[in-house]
Amino acid sequence: MALASLNLWQNTEQLNCTSREVKGKITNRPSHELEAIGLWLISFALVAVLSQLLFSLYYFNWELFSKVIYKSLVSLLVCVLIVLAVLAFDQPKKHLLKYILFFAITITSALGLTKTLTGSHAQSDTIFLYGFSFYTASIAYLLHSKQLSAKSIAACSNPLLLITGPIATCFGSVHHYSFKKRFKYFFPYILVGLFLHQAIATPLTKAFHLIALTDMISSCAYAVIFELFVYANFCGLSLMIYGVCGIIGVRIPLNFRQPFSSTNIVEYWRGWHTSLSTVLKSLFYTPTKRSLGTFPAIFVVYLASAMWHGVTINFVLWGVFHASVFILTIVFLRKAAFLPSFVLMIAGVLIGRALFADSDFPRLLEKLSFKYDGFVVLTKLAELPNTSKLALLLGIFFIVAEMVFQKCKYFKERNYKFYRIPIIQLILLVSTLGTICDDSGLDYAVYGQR
C-alpha cells in the first residue's frame, strides 16, 4: 500500500470513471454529442428542482426557472467563445492558453469579480462568471488532452455540473443499461449525498461563529467542524449530482472517494476532489516533474491549487503547508514509517483546514500562536442547537467509520458501498428526513457557482 501511495495520482482518470467496481457492473462507453447536449437541456429543470429541494428557494416558479436558463445560456456562450478563441490561436500559444484559462479564476478573484472560497457562500455576483472556476478548468484540461469538441463544450458548461462541480474531465454514457438498472445502482448515491448535505453539512453552519475563538482547543474544534462541513457539503452535493446524472444515463467523475479511508495524506488526496486532482496532475504535476523533479512539482501543484481556491495569504500558506506535509509523508513512507505518516495526515488535515477556513489573517496568526485557554469551546458547543450537535456526532461517526473500517470489503473500494447497503440506506433516509427543517442552517454549495 505504501508503495502504491508513492505512485502519485496513479491512474487518476481510471479512479474517476472506470474503477474496478464500475468495470464489473457498469462499463462506460464514450457519449455522443447528442447525449451531452440532451443532458445540457434537461439540466435546466434538474437545477431548478435541486435548487428547490436543497437550497430552500421559493416554490418552483418561472422566475427561478428563467434565472437558471439565463445563467446556463451565459455559461454556454462563454464556453463557446473561449473555445473559439482557443481555436483561433496556433499550437504554441495553446500551451500558454490552458494555463491562462486555469488561472482565470485567480485573476477574477484578484480583481474582486469572483469570491475567494471561505466556507461561506462564494457565488459570484457577476452573472457572466457563473460557474467560471469549473468550466475554465474543464476547458484547460480538454485543451491539454486535445479533446475539445461540441460534446465537451456541452459537458463542461452543463448547468448541473456548474452548481458545485465536478470538473468535467470525463463524460461517459451508460445508456446501454436499462433505466431500472441505472436507478438501482445510482439512486443510493443520491440518498448518501442527501444525508451528508442535509443531515450533516447544513446544521453545522450554526457553528460557524466559533471561528472567532482563537485559543488552541477551540481552533482545533473549529477545524474539525469545518472539515466535516466542507466534506459533507461538497461530497454530498457531488454524490447527488453523480447519482442524478447516472440515472439519466451519463457517467461523470465521482468527485469523492472516501478520502478518510486513508492511512496517509497521499491517499487522502486521492479521494478528495478527484476531478481537480486530474486537472492538476495533467497541467502541473506531470510537466513539472519531468523538468524539475517530484518535490518541486508537488509545490507547484499545491500552489496552483491554492490560487484556484482564492487569492489570499491563508491560501498561500495552505498550499505551502500541504505540499510540505505531502513531501514529508513520502519521506516517511520510503522509510516504511507508517504510524508517523498517519499522525501527519490527521495533523495535516486539521491544520490545513484551519488555514483554509480563516481569511482574516491577524486572527489566523493569533490561532497559530497555539495559546491554551482551557476548554471554553465545550461551553459553546453545548449551546449549539440539538440538530447541530447531532450533525456533529453523525459527521464524526461517518468519518471514523471510513477510517476504521477501510480494510473491510464494504469500504476498501472507496465508493461509499457500505452506505449503499439497503438497511444503511434506510437508516440514512430516516436520519435525514427526521432532522430536516427550514431553520436548521444554511443551504448552499461551499464550492459552488464561482
According to the binding rule CB under 8 A, does residue 52 interact with another protein?
yes
Residues in 355-374 that interact with another protein by CB under 8 A: 359-360
Amino acid at 273: H
Of residues 21 and 383, the one with the C-beta less far from another protein: 383
> At its nearest, how many Å lie between another protein and the CB of residue 385?
10
Select from 383, 393, 404, 412 the one that contacts another protein (CB under 8 A).
383
Q: What is the sign of the dihedral through the CA atoms of 163, 167, 168 and 172?
A: negative
Select from 59, 91, 111, 336 the one that contacts another protein (CB under 8 A).
59
What whole-number distance in Å separates Cα of residue 406 and Cα of residue 397?
A: 14
Of residues 271 and 395, the one with the C-beta less far from another protein: 395
- The mark string for 205-244 relative to another protein (x by CB under 8 A, - otherwise) is x--xxxxxx-------------------------------
> At its nearest, how many Å lie between another protein and the CB of residue 359?
7
According to the binding rule CB under 8 A, does residue 429 interact with another protein?
yes
According to the binding rule CB under 8 A, does residue 22 interact with another protein?
no
Residues in 85-144 that interact with another protein by CB under 8 A: 118-121
> At its nearest, how many Å lie between another protein and the CB of residue 433?
5
> At its nearest, how many Å lie between another protein and the CB of residue 404?
24
User: What are the phi and psi torsion angles at 311 (to 5°)?
Assistant: -105, 75
Of residues 218 and 277, the one with the C-beta less far from another protein: 218
User: Residue 227 is inside which H or E element, if any?
Assistant: helix 216-230
Of residues 212 and 347, the one with the C-beta less far from another protein: 212
Query: Could you tell me which residues are beta bridge partners of residue 30?
Result: 172
What whole-number distance in Å separates Cα of residue 275 and Cα of residue 307?
A: 16
> At its nearest, how many Å lie between another protein and the CB of residue 329?
31
Nearest in space to 284 (alpha carbons), one of 93, 103, 134, 94: 103
What's the number of CA atoms in the CB half-sphere (13 Å) around residue 209?
Answer: 8
Grid cell of 302 as nine digits: 499545491
> At its nearest, how many Å lie between another protein and the CB of residue 27?
23
What whole-number distance in Å separates Cα of residue 340 and Cα of residue 346?
A: 10
Of residues 114 and 440, the one with the C-beta less far from another protein: 440
According to the binding rule CB under 8 A, does residue 439 interact with another protein?
yes
> At its nearest, how many Å lie between another protein and the CB of residue 322?
23
What whole-number distance in Å separates Cα of residue 139 and Cα of residue 98?
A: 8
> At its nearest, how many Å lie between another protein and the CB of residue 95?
37
Compute CA distances 424 → 183, 192, 307, 329, 386, whole Å: 17, 9, 39, 34, 23
Grid cell of 161 as nine digits: 455540473
Of residues 358 and 402, the one with the C-beta less far from another protein: 358
Q: How many CB atoms lie within 10 A of CB 428?
A: 23
> At its nearest, how many Å lie between another protein and the CB of residue 435?
5
Compute CA distances 221 → 209, 258, 321, 378, whole Å: 12, 22, 20, 9
Nearest in space to 46 (alpha carbons), one of 18, 74, 69, 26: 69
What whole-number distance in Å separates Cα of residue 251 and Cα of residue 213?
A: 43
What whole-number distance in Å separates Cα of residue 235 and Cα of residue 172?
A: 20
According to the binding rule CB under 8 A, does residue 396 interact with another protein?
no
Of residues 202 and 238, the one with the C-beta less far from another protein: 202
Strand pairing class (172-173; 29-30): antiparallel
User: What are the phi and psi torsion angles at 262 (to 5°)?
Assistant: -140, 155
According to the binding rule CB under 8 A, does residue 64 interact with another protein?
no
| Residues near another protein (CB under 8 A), total | 41
> At its nearest, how many Å lie between another protein and the CB of residue 100?
28
Of residues 122 and 303, the one with the C-beta less far from another protein: 122
Binding site for another protein (CB under 8 A): 52-53, 56-59, 118-121, 184, 205, 208-213, 359-360, 380, 383, 386-387, 421-423, 425-426, 429-430, 433-440, 442, 444
